[in-house]
Structure 1
Amino acid sequence: MKNPIAIAITFAMIATSVTVFAASETSTPTAAKALVFTPPNDEEIPNNEFGKIVRQGKNIFEDTQHYAKQYVGNSLNCVNCHLASGRKENSSPLWAAYVRYPAYRAKNNKVNTYEERIQGCFKYSLNGKAPAVDSPEMVALVTYSYWLATGAPVGAKLKGAGYPEVPKPGLIPDANRGKTVFVENCQVCHGSNGEGKKVDGKYIFPPLWGSESFNWGAGMHRINTAAAFIKANMPLSKGGTLTDQEAWDVATFVMSHERPQDPRFKGNVAQTKKEYHDENCRYGETVNGKVLGGKHQTAAK
């Protein structure tokens, strides 16, 4: 005689399978909600060798000019695009990015590791050169990111990740309107010529264009990306106060100025634009009689 317990378990498994199958056939899929996550506080960094590297990564992130100067080619620090030491939600926080890699990126048409993603930041946003995967600086930055993501589920889309997309406005984004927004909201910190502000020789507010800003290959040069960052975070401590139209307009104004050449430069602007800038940007366009990207005919070294 068969074991009655085994028979009951078998029927339960069959019933469960039928229910799951039926649900998959008849239910309407719903988008998964982003999970809410809070990174650990600095006070929780352990006082051991691991914690020492975490603190080193935090130092590099906040003052890249000092702690990783050999890899930086402009006047920016990592924290300029990832506010509050990489903690702030909707400012591309490290804790949200770390758990999403490895990931495919259309930018280089391959699956990137987290280390490769950081290397791209140095190459484009910092207009410098990429630290080796096993360099002390890279190890420290990855360790700091890993620590910030303590407890976050791998592969999860976390609430506050990246920069929240801003819908296209009713009017075509306009640099002239954007200049007005800039003067009224941005100039006080970033200067009338987008040159940034220094105290004791150090930038406290980063340059937004010109030779000391990010280059034409950085993700931030795309108007939609800049508008998303601005809408969520600018003016500093007053994120969300600009309208969608104002965010797009001022992003268009800022990105209508010259900056360092795209490291992928192909010898002429038109060719580089065709291959890498068929997107929401002004690279290769003529502004005030000058072709953006044409000032520097060689890529940054």
Structure 2
Amino acid sequence: MKASRWMLSVALLPLAACHQSTQQAAPAVSDTPVAVASSPKSTGRFEPPPESSIPNDDFGKQIALGRQIFIDTGHYAKAYVGNQLNCENCHLDAGRLAHSAPLWGAYPMYPAYRSKNHHVNTFAERLQGCFQYSMNGKAPPLGDDVLVALEAYAYWMSKGEPIGVASPGHGYLKLPQPAQAPDYARGEAVFKRDCAMCHGDNGQGQQVVDRTVFPPLWGPQSYNWGAGMERLDNAAGFIKANMPLGRGNTLTDQDAWDVAYFMNAHERPQDPRFKSSVEETRKAYHDTPDSLYGVKVNGKVLGEGIAGQ
């Protein structure tokens, strides 16, 4: 998804990660500003504190470590990551950007019951799930330094926000159902036009000196079939609000649905909850029109996973 020279230079900074816009509250990319958390006076949207306000004490060290883990997960949480993604790939601008599931939107909503695992989850348990599914790795044990630092970062970012209230921009953008059913061929055309420059013609992203600059969208180094981004509604909402990077809200809703379909119509690592068959696993965990797991696309049933996974 087309990036300016400015974005490519940012991506090469030591702590930069794929899809990182900037470390300021209101960055700009080329001539078009990124859709970031606006002033509460104008939108009513919560505005997280700037990085410069992280306290200079022992608690601040944990906050800063949480931020480092968030934007360079493969380095700072290597033992728990199984692919080339960083937390920031789905939660942009170091977890600050509205409509990209920002940390300040998630933290105040826990503990909460989740139908995904049928019990009340703490925020730490929610983070465990991110490692297991989106990072295709393993869950850090509760109390692990990685989870403590990430929770400290999320807590600091959310200070002053109402508890249990879904603030505007707290998750992914919710798009209306498309006028036409999402289509692979149309999605492929959108991908070639708007996405391949950054993510590659084969969707495997780009790395510079072993650092992910733009993430793989399918295949062995992407999120697995248990991740939230495998749902078409989540992927379409994220794409509509944020992609192409720096030019969010420029694709039509139909384009966003179509390219989300194209992206998720490719094979990826198996759902860790796999049962005896793809059919049984779909019935248990993916029985929704928003999941392509177990669906035949281009003559192949998706969900077999990647060889060797």
Q: Say yes or no: TM over 0.5.
A: yes
For residue 235 of structure 2, what is the amino acid of its counterpart? A
Matches of 1:67 and 1:131, distance apart in 2 = 13
Deviation at 1:281, TM superposition (A): 1.2
Q: Contact between 2:219 and 2:306, CA under 8 Å: does it hold in 1?
A: no
Secondary structure of the residue aligned to 1:88 is: coil
Deviation at 1:46, TM superposition (A): 0.7
What is residue 117 of structure 2 aligned with on the other side? 108
Q: Contact between 2:220 and 2:306, CA under 8 Å: does it hold in 1?
A: no
Deviation at 1:164, TM superposition (A): 1.4
Secondary structure of the residue aligned to 1:111 is: strand
What is residue 93 of structure 1 aligned with on the other side? 102
Matches of 1:297 and 1:258, distance apart in 2 = 10
Q: Which runs of 5+ in 1 are unaligned?
A: 1-33
Secondary structure of the residue aligned to 2:165 is: coil
What is residue 60 of structure 1 aligned with on the other side? 69
Deviation at 1:274, TM superposition (A): 1.0
Deviation at 1:295, TM superposition (A): 4.1
What is residue 282 of structure 1 aligned with on the other side? 292
Q: Which has the larger radius of gyration?
A: 1
Matches of 2:104 and 2:208, distance apart in 1 = 30
Mapping 1:1-301, distance limit 5 Å: 35-279=44-288, 280-296=290-306
Secondary structure of the residue aligned to 1:195 is: coil
Q: Which runs of 5+ in 2 are unaligned?
A: 1-42
Q: Contact between 1:103 and 1:113, CA under 8 Å: does it hold in 2?
A: yes
For residue 114 of structure 2, what is the amino acid of its counterpart? R
Deviation by residue 1:148-173 (Cα, 9 ceiling, x = unmatched): 00111111221110001011111111
Deviation by residue 1:46-105 (Cα, 9 ceiling, x = unmatched): 110010000000000000000000000111000000000000011100011100101111
Deviation at 1:284, TM superposition (A): 1.1
Q: Contact between 1:261 and 1:297, CA under 8 Å: does it hold in 2?
A: no
Relative contact order higher in (CA < 8 Å, ≥ 6 apart): 2
Matches of 1:200 and 1:215, distance apart in 2 = 24
Deviation by residue 1:124-161 (Cα, 9 ceiling, x = unmatched): 00000001111110000000000000111111221110
Matches of 2:187 and 2:88, distance apart in 1 = 25
Deviation at 1:36, TM superposition (A): 2.2
Matches of 1:60 and 1:105, distance apart in 2 = 25
Deviation at 1:288, TM superposition (A): 2.9
Matches of 2:212 and 2:81, distance apart in 1 = 14
Deviation at 1:218, TM superposition (A): 0.3
Matches of 1:51 and 1:154, distance apart in 2 = 22
Secondary structure of the residue aligned to 2:168 is: coil
Deviation at 1:180, TM superposition (A): 0.3
TM-score, with structure 1 as normaliser: 0.86
TM-score, with structure 2 as normaliser: 0.84
For residue 126 of structure 1, what is the amino acid of its counterpart? M
Q: Contact between 2:267 and 2:306, CA under 8 Å: does it hold in 1?
A: no
Q: Contact between 1:268 and 1:297, CA under 8 Å: does it hold in 2?
A: no
For residue 288 of structure 1, what is the amino acid of its counterpart? N
Deviation at 1:200, TM superposition (A): 1.4
Q: Contact between 1:65 and 1:72, CA under 8 Å: does it hold in 2?
A: yes
Matches of 1:291 and 1:172, distance apart in 2 = 19
Secondary structure of the residue aligned to 1:158 is: coil
Q: Contact between 2:80 and 2:139, CA under 8 Å: does it hold in 1?
A: yes
Instruction: Name the CA shift for 1:190/1:296 in 2 (closer, same or farther; >3 Å).
Output: closer
Q: Contact between 1:189 and 1:205, CA under 8 Å: does it hold in 2?
A: yes
Matches of 1:150 and 1:292, distance apart in 2 = 42
Secondary structure of the residue aligned to 1:209 is: coil
Matches of 1:129 and 1:61, distance apart in 2 = 16
**% identical aligned pairs:** 56
Q: Contact between 1:35 and 1:156, CA under 8 Å: does it hold in 2?
A: no
Secondary structure of the residue aligned to 1:57 is: helix
For residue 263 of structure 2, what is the amino acid of its counterpart? V
